[in-house]
Structure 1
Amino acid sequence: MRRRLIQSTLAVVLVVIAVFGVSLVIVETRTITSSAQDRIESEALRLAGIVEANAAERRPIDSDALAEQLDPGRYARITVPGQPPVEVGERTDESVLRGTAKGEQGELVVVEEPRSIVTEEVGRTLAVVGAVALLAVVAAVALAIRQANRLASPLTDLAETAERLGSGDPRPRHRRYGVPELDRVADVLDSSAERIGRMLTAERRLAADASHQLRTPLTALSMRLEEITVTDDLATVREEATIALAQVERLTDVVQRLLTNSRDPRTGSAVPFDLDEVVKQQVEEWRPAYRSEGRAIVRSGKTGVRAFGTPGAVAQVLATLVENALMHGGGTVALRTRVVGNQAVLEVTDEGPGVPPDLGNRIFERAISGRNSTGIGLAVARDLAEADGGRLELLQAQPPVFALFLSRTEPERGEREQTVR
């Protein structure tokens, strides 16, 4: 591109020089020749006046005096009636410019100048024109190189940005070049980089959430299937299979919720449901795991509470809290249901050391963990709660008390979105 810009600029300059330079040379040549001719004729008239004055006073022609009046390099021939011709200067055999003048008494003065003098003057003019043309070419090349670099460098930089974007590095560069068209391309690339960055972040977040949220259901499902394979009791097989099918349904709901939240975290499908059923299901599902650890999981509080939310999402939130209590807590884990005004509150507490004081509510931020875990579970749980207009809070750090607040009446859509924000 640089070469093309330089060549095109140089071609334009050469055409301009060729058109205007040749015209200037022709005009200057004619002007110099005409000026020389005029000077010679003026010289002839001046000498004719001197000769005419001498003739009027009947004085002889003084060639030495006329030689002093004649410009160097010129030749003059003076003819006076009744007198021999007088020649002043040296006559040349080369081509000359000639000027003549006549007096009132028949005097004739002829002045000649070699054309070589005019040619030398024309040559000096051509040299000046050529030097100016050369300077113009040099300036044009320098300007073309500067403009080529100004245009080519941003294009190279934009190509590198596009290549970097295609290789998976979506960081916008925010570089501008002072050229509106190139700045527009840079704006589009930066916008694309930001969109791709958001898409990659969402994909990584979905992968991390899926890995975290599916691990526990798959483990529980695997345990149920193992129970089926080692027992010959048909009733036990039927019971375990029924529980396994319920877990598969919840697992399907987990996947659906993760996909839905990855597209729009505010999308909820709240319906009225019996909170006791979700609590009972979680207690029964986690009781074998707690029993194997020598711990207990119990439920208490108000019964027959109905709330608005997505049962699968609420089950995921509870599963996260119960799993955290199993992994990081200690002693008995209690799930207590209570009613506060228009809200149903489900508290999960244990007898462990609780949340470190330096974390507090930051425990809900992604990648924040007090026990070297992934730091994803509580963040996803809070997103799931907020998607249906609820909220998940840490009411007490030591011993830990987590509370899930759910509305007992269907919230308006605007209120739900306001809660999410």
Structure 2
Amino acid sequence: MRQRVARVAVVAVLVALALLAVPLAVVIRGYLFADERGELEREALSAAVRVSPDFAAGDPVELPTGQSEGDLGIYDTAMRRRAGTGPASADAVTRRAVAGAVAQQDTGGELVVAVPVSSAEHVIGVVRASTSTTGVWKRVLAAWGALLAAALTAFGVALLLARHQARSLAAPLEALARTSQSVADGDLTARAAACGVAEIDQVAHSHNTMVDRLTHLLQHEREFTTNASHQLRTPLAGLQLGLETALSKPGADLRGAVEEALEQSHHLNDTIDEVLSLAKAPTAPNTTAASQTAAHLLERAELRWHGPLAQDGRRLQLTLDPAVTAEPLPRRTADQILDILLDNAHRHGRGTVEVTLRDLGEALAIDVGDEGSLSLPPSTLFERGSSTGPGQGIGLALATDLAQSAGGRLNITQTHPTRFTLLLPRGE
């Protein structure tokens, strides 16, 4: 990337220098040769004004000192040199000047300028000035050398700027590539930083948005897996224990065991549906869930949790306000939240577990408490991963999500002894 950007910049500078330097070199050459011709013409004119009208009658002429490297001479109309230096017989350039106009020509390595001398509107002679083109070419080459030095300096500066610009453009893209590779390697916390280049910043923003969404989806998938594992483990263990007990106990009521297993399987099916529903729309209130009465909710909870608590020598006490016995509650959601709270009391609490259903007017309150005490700060209690024991800290976070999906709220209302309160809106 860097080499490509630098190469493009260098080629552009070379083309620009060529388009500028070549015409400028031609102009310099033309200017210096024209300047030398002008100087020769001024010397010839200076000599011409010294020629008297009697020059044609043989009056001698004293020419000014000419160029040290050139010739300055005067010729009569017979094209013979009468004074100064130069060829004894006039050349073609001098002959053209007899017509009355200044003549110039580059010939034989010389610059020649011929100026006519007039008297009474008649040409009486011609002043010829010449110099070698070697000196002019030296000036041209010196100017070309200065032009080349300036071009090389400009090329060097352009090369440094091109390398700097290449680094400025390539570095953010390289950093974005490293960030993308980090994400591909599993680091979902990697984010592309802004660099100040609008187009690259837009790509970085789109990349970060994509990673954020990907992170959210993966986190959602992980939470679904842990939620499903957490919610299915206890019912499956209870189902397996019930079937094993029925098989190993002589004279056991197999029909009752099958009916209990069937009820457990229905509950497992409801658990799967509820976890799937939460995974599809974790923040949307579940307004279309099937309902059950408050009395039925507590009856089902007692069937599931009386046995496990009794095995540990603990009691399950249920208190139901008669005014809300027939009040409808979201069946699957309320079952799942109540299971989580009872499992939490079973694992981390002690003593009698008490479930109370109260009427609060516009909402129903379900209190789940035990005789234990809370060791975690209430501010972190509902965060995923917070746990006071061997658990993974999933249950209360999941219960909070489930409560929100049903339009309710789960709070810790007492820490010594522990009591959680679930608030659910009353059915219309």
Q: TM-score over 0.5 for the alignment?
A: yes
Q: Distance in 2 between matches of 1:72 and 1:200?
A: 93
Give the C-alpha shift of residue 81 in structure 1.
8.8
Deviations 1:124-148 (A, max 9, x none): 1221222222223223322322222
CA shift in 2, pair 1:360/1:162, >3 Å:
closer
> Structure 1 residues 140-149 or 339-348, which shifts more?
339-348
Find the counterpart in structure 2 of residue 416 from structure 1: none
Amino acid at match of 1:242: E
Equivalent position of 2:15 in the other structure = 15
Shift in Å, 1:46: 0.7
Letter in structure 2 aligned against 1:292: Q
Q: Is the CA contact 1:221–1:244 (under 8 Å) kept in the aligned structure 2? A: yes
Q: Distance in 2 between matches of 1:182 and 1:213?
A: 46
Distance 1:13 1:362 in 2: 63
Aligned-residue sequence identity (percent) comes to: 29
Cα separation, partners in 2 of 1:53 and 1:121, compared to 1, 3 Å: farther
Amino acid at match of 1:345: A
CA 1:149–1:175 in 2, change beyond 3 Å: closer, same or farther? same
> Which of 107, 114, 117 in structure 2 is aligned with 1:103?
117
In structure 2, distance between residues paired with 1:26 and 1:367: 81
Aligned counterparts of 1:362 and 1:110: Cα–Cα separation in 2: 109
Q: Are the aligned partners of 2:175 and 2:192 in contact in 1 as well (CA < 8 Å)?
A: no
In structure 1, how many angstroms separate the alpha carbons of the residues matched to 2:196 and 2:53?
Answer: 78
Q: Which moved more, 1:10-19 or 1:325-334?
A: 10-19
Question: 1:325 maps to what in 2?
Answer: 345
**1-structure distance, mates of 2:146, 2:365:** 97
8 A Cα contact 2:285 2:405, kept in partner = yes
| One-letter identity of the residue aligned with 2:45 | L
Shifted more, 290-299 versus 114-123: the winner is 290-299
The one of 376, 380, 395 aligned to 1:377: 395
Equivalent residue for 2:154? 136
Question: Matched residues in 2 for 1:244 and 1:146: separation?
Answer: 74
- What SS class does the counterpart of residue 341 from structure 1 fall into? coil
Q: In 2 relative to 1, CA 340–2 (structure 1 residues): closer, same or farther, beyond 3 Å? A: closer
- Alpha carbons of 1:85 and 1:149: their partners in 2 closer, same or farther (altered >3 Å)? same
Structure 1 residue 319: Cα displacement = 1.7
Render the CA deviation track for 1:312-365: whole Å, top value 9, x for unaligned: 22222222222222222222222233434344433323223x224x62464333
Displacement, 1:190?
A: 0.9
For residue 73 of structure 2, what is the aligned residue in structure 1? 77
CA distance in 2, matches of 1:325, 1:11: 77
Q: Does 1:86 align with 2:103?
A: no
- Whether contact under 8 Å (1:343, 1:407) holds in the other structure is yes
Shift of 1:3: 2.6
Which of 302, 306, 322 does residue 283 from structure 1 map onto?
Answer: 302
Large movers: runs of 4+ above 4 Å = 53-56, 58-63, 79-84, 88-91
Segments of 5+ residues of structure 2 without an aligned counterpart are: 89-106
Residue 246 in structure 1 maps to residue 263 in structure 2: yes
Q: CA shift at 1:192, angstroms?
A: 0.5
SS in 1 for 2:391: coil
Question: Alignment partner for residue 186 of structure 2, among 168, 172, 175?
Answer: 168
Contact 2:81 2:87 in 1 (8 A): no
Ranges in structure 1 where 5+ consecutive residues have no aligned partner: 411-421
2:274 is matched with 257
CA deviation after TM superposition for structure 1 residue 256, in Å: 1.7
Q: For the residues of structure 2 that align with 1:385 and 1:104, how far apart are their CA atoms?
A: 120
Equivalent position SS for 2:278: helix
The AA in structure 2 aligned to 1:6 is: A
Which amino acid is the alignment partner of residue 302 of structure 2? V
Query: 8 Å contact 2:73–2:81 — kept in the other structure?
Result: no
Give the Cα–Cα distance (whole angstroms) in 2 for the partners of residues 208 and 296 of structure 1: 29
- Asked whether the 8 Å contact 1:73–1:89 carries over to 2, the reply is no
What is the SS of the residue equivalent to 1:306? Answer: coil
C-alpha displacement of 1:307: 2.8
Alignment length (residue pairs): 402
Amino acid at match of 1:373: G
- Calculate the aligned-residue CA RMSD, in Å: 3.0
**2:285–2:407 Cα contact (<8 Å) kept:** no
Specify which structure has the higher proportion of helix.
1
Shift of 1:271: 4.1
